[in-house]
Homo-oligomer: A and B are copies of this chain.
Amino acid sequence: MLWSGWGDPDRAAPLPEPVVALLRDLLGVRPGATAPVALADVEVPEPRLSADALTEFARIVGDRNVRADTETRVRHTRGRSTPDLLRIRAGQASDAPDAVVLPGTHDEVVAVLRACARLRVAVVPFGGGTSVVGGLAPSGPAGAPGTFIALDLRRMDALVSIDEVSRTAVLQPGLRAPAAEALLAERGYTLGHFPQSYEWASIGGFAATRSSGQASAGYGRFDDLVVALTVATPQGDLDLGRAPKSAAGPDLRQLVLGSEGALGVITSVTVRIQPVPETRAYEGWRFASFAEGAAALRRLAQDGPRPAVLRLSDETETMVGLTDPSAIGPEGEARPLDGGGRGLEDGGCLAVLGFEGTAGRVAERRAGVADVLRAAGGEPLGAGPGEKWERGRFDAPYLRDALLDVGAFAETVETATFWSNLPALYGAVRDALTGALSDAGTPPLVMCHISHVYPSGASLYFTVVSAQGKDPVEHWARAKRAACEAIVDAGGTISHHHGVGTDHRDWYAREIGPLGAAVLRAVKDRVDPAGILNPGVLVPPV
């Protein structure tokens, strides 16, 4: 992972000049001091760990699995939100971990946690490092983090076992998603979990943050896939899940899922798996409006049949999506390319559908879905837009880096609600983002899509692009606050799949109310009396 941005540096590509011109004309984007500093110039605080502590960690995990060099610390600093990137690009790594510890087994995790509790050293579990909500940035009571280590789980990267009868697999938390897919594919299986962070994110991270993949309509969210978990805490282990479902009390698995490292370190995850689909097919549909398209998606979510992938862009996102950089001519005019935009020239909204399974099942389901969408006013656009989406499905974070490079700002906000409340929530968040950034002198482009649907509701995912302005971190903080207020006031959840972290904690506290927060605090105090587990993340102060 690029230390100052996303992914594989070899896959980064600069924005074409015509797009840069468009951003300038449309949003006032101006080049600034936007290039990242050199890695050697990043400022990292002096490590605060005692030699005794380092010796203790080395005793547990081995010398070479305790790292305190600057580069390793920088590479474990915060996550991948745009403010995270803006700060690291500017050389600011004040909240770097004091050391990075790499355990190899559950028992080593337990021993590290016990040592940390004794030494009063905080622990940030680290998987893919892809948090966009401050999930890797602990904070003490006064805001500044105390001494802390990143507990990098990359050595715990095994596919432990497959149960072909039950169609489950036991995975270690540090296994990255592509590696998990590759190991499962050798046996003919897939998890079917493909969030945008797929290429870098880890199994433990998926569980700890309730990740939701792009094929959630077909495979379910990650929290739907998990049937058992093992969790290490300073006070002992939790070993949960003896059956798919149970009436033996509250479902404690659901207390661990979404716990974001604040209640323990997930050391084993048992997930449902499915046979690798024989075939995959993607296609596009046009709807006259976002509301009409949403009604069509709702129809499918409630009455079926369901595709595996089901997404709908609003008018703005559809329009911007048509602006294929490589298709922009010398006149600076956007043109649709490769069938990806035919049929959308006169506006409307693009829906992308994906189907997976046996050829027969896919054909049958496509036909059934087409009937529903036609009846709901949809016009088929063929495979082009679907395949275009599929090719670029993991590329948005690279595009963000390219935007930052030319002085633009790009970030996302997401939420979910029940269907009847979706229009109001959509309007409220859109207005809040537009208003706050316009007030700051950087009027944005605000795009939105629905990418996860349920019988009773759906997610909304907003992408914001604007000029960086004088202080983009502060501008965004204000816009983000406005969006979060709008979400909570309009009855949405503060996150559908990014999580809470530190960024959403105050609104999360409002979402679950004072008693909900107190319950969570009571659980945390029980499993983590020393308060070393990702302090400041998730759990509201009481």
Interface set of A (CB-CB < 8 Å, partner B) = 163, 165-168, 209-212, 221, 223, 227, 233, 235-240, 242-252, 254-260, 263, 272, 274, 298, 302, 415-421, 452, 454-459, 491-500, 504, 508, 511-516, 518-523, 525-527, 538
| Residues from chain B with Cβ under 8 Å of A512 in the complex | 238, 240, 248-249, 252
How many subunits of this chain does the assembly comprise?
A: 2
Q: Is there an interface contact between A417 and B243, defined as CB atoms closer than 8 Å?
A: yes
With A272-B455, A420-B166, A522-B526 in contact, do A516 and B244 touch (Cβ < 8 Å)? no
With A249-B500, A457-B166, A504-B248 in contact, do A255 and B258 touch (Cβ < 8 Å)? no
| Residues from chain B with Cβ under 8 Å of A516 in the complex | 238, 240, 252
| Residues from chain B with Cβ under 8 Å of A494 in the complex | 246, 248
The residue on B at minimum CB distance from A540 is B249
The residue on B at minimum CB distance from A233 is B515
With A249-B512, A251-B257, A508-B249 in contact, do A244 and B167 touch (Cβ < 8 Å)? no
Q: Is there an interface contact between B259 and A455, defined as CB atoms closer than 8 Å?
A: no
Whole-angstrom CA separation of A240 from B233 in the bound complex:
26
The residue on B at minimum CB distance from A133 is B247
Whole-angstrom CA separation of A260 from B250 in the bound complex:
9
| Residues from chain B with Cβ under 8 Å of A258 in the complex | 247-251
The residue on B at minimum CB distance from A253 is B254
The residue on B at minimum CB distance from A275 is B303
Whole-angstrom CA separation of A522 from B263 in the bound complex:
13
| Residues from chain B with Cβ under 8 Å of A235 in the complex | 515, 518
Q: Is there an interface contact between A166 and B249, defined as CB atoms closer than 8 Å?
A: no
Q: Is there an interface contact between B255 and A250, defined as CB atoms closer than 8 Å?
A: yes
The residue on B at minimum CB distance from A526 is B522
Whole-angstrom CA separation of A167 from B457 in the bound complex:
9
Of B259, B263, B418, which contacts A243 at CB under 8 A?
Answer: B418
Q: Is there an interface contact between A496 and B246, defined as CB atoms closer than 8 Å?
A: yes
Q: What's the minimum C-beta distance from A225 to chain B, rounded to whole angstroms?
A: 10
The residue on B at minimum CB distance from A504 is B248
Q: What's the minimum C-beta distance from A334 to chain B, rounded to whole angstroms?
A: 34
8 A-B pairs (CB sep. < 8 Å): A168-B418, A221-B245, A240-B512, A246-B495, A247-B495, A250-B254, A250-B256, A255-B255
For the complex with contacts A166-B421, A235-B518, A523-B523, 9 further pairs of A-B residues with Cβ separation under 8 Å are A163-B418, A210-B251, A243-B418, A246-B416, A246-B493, A247-B493, A247-B495, A248-B499, A255-B519
The residue on B at minimum CB distance from A521 is B526
| Residues from chain B with Cβ under 8 Å of A522 in the complex | 522-523, 525-526
Whole-angstrom CA separation of A389 from B331 in the bound complex:
73
Whole-angstrom CA separation of A38 from B244 in the bound complex:
45
Whole-angstrom CA separation of A518 from B10 in the bound complex:
50
Pick the 8 closest A-B CB pairs, nearest first. Answer: A254-B254, A244-B454, A243-B416, A522-B526, A165-B420, A210-B247, A246-B493, A166-B418
A165, A419, A459 pick with most chain B CB within 10 angstroms: A165
The residue on B at minimum CB distance from A491 is B242
Q: Is there an interface contact between B211 and A249, defined as CB atoms closer than 8 Å?
A: no
A238, A452, A455, A495 pick with most chain B CB within 10 angstroms: A455
Q: What's the minimum C-beta distance from A205 to chain B, rounded to whole angstroms?
A: 12
